[in-house]
Amino acid sequence: MATKGGKGIYIAALVLFLGGVGYLVGSGVTKGSVYFLKVGEALATDSAQLQQARLFGNVAEEGIELLKPGPGVIFQLIDKDNPGGTLRVSYRGAVPDAFKAGAEVIVEGGLDSVGKTFTATTLITKCPSKYQKQNRG
């Protein structure tokens, strides 16, 4: 009879273990979820859902302002597929050397409460083609 009681303990321990792993996986996925959107998609999304998002597009030709004091930049992000779709981005931090008008960038952050400015915590520029490996055929 001791084996039946021992079997029940192992089953209960297995159920608790699997439940704990399931909870950790589920909570990790929901907390770490970040939307990856084009500018036009971000503009069509409710601002309450864009508290944490990653956007990509091109830096507009005009309207680039350096933040004062300190490092940072304010610029317009243009949708690559729909140039009419623009969103103002404010970024405080070190600006990449490849950042310039027309550059492809990815910004991560959130939309402000008014829904007018995307406050970026990360700014990444796409590497220029001169750094890509050339075909030497």
Average of per-residue pLDDT across 8-32: 75
Structure confidence at residue 95 (pLDDT) = 93
Residues 89 and 54 sit within 8 Å (Cβ to Cβ): no
Identify which has the larger pLDDT, 79 or 70.
Answer: 79
Q: Is the pLDDT of residue 2 over 60?
A: no
**Per residue in 80-109, pLDDT tens?**
888 788 999 999 999 999 999 999 999 999
pLDDT grade for 5, boundaries at 50, 70 and 90: low
pLDDT digit string, tens, across residues 22-63: 777 766 555 555 667 888 888 888 777 778 889 999 999 998
Residue 13: which H helix or E strand, with range? helix 2-31
Region 57-73: mean pLDDT is 91
Superfamily name and number for 35-131? Nucleic acid-binding proteins (2.40.50.140)
The residues spanned by each domain of the chain are 1-33, 35-131
Q: Is the pTM of this model over 0.75?
A: no
Instruction: Give the list of residues 6+ apart from residue 98 with CB closer than 8 angstroms, or none.
Output: 125, 126, 127, 128
Q: Which of 75, 121, 126 is nearest to 97 (CA)?
A: 126
Q: How many CB atoms lie within 10 A of CB 104?
A: 15
The CA-atom distances, in angstroms, between 44 and each of 31, 50, 109 are 23, 11, 17
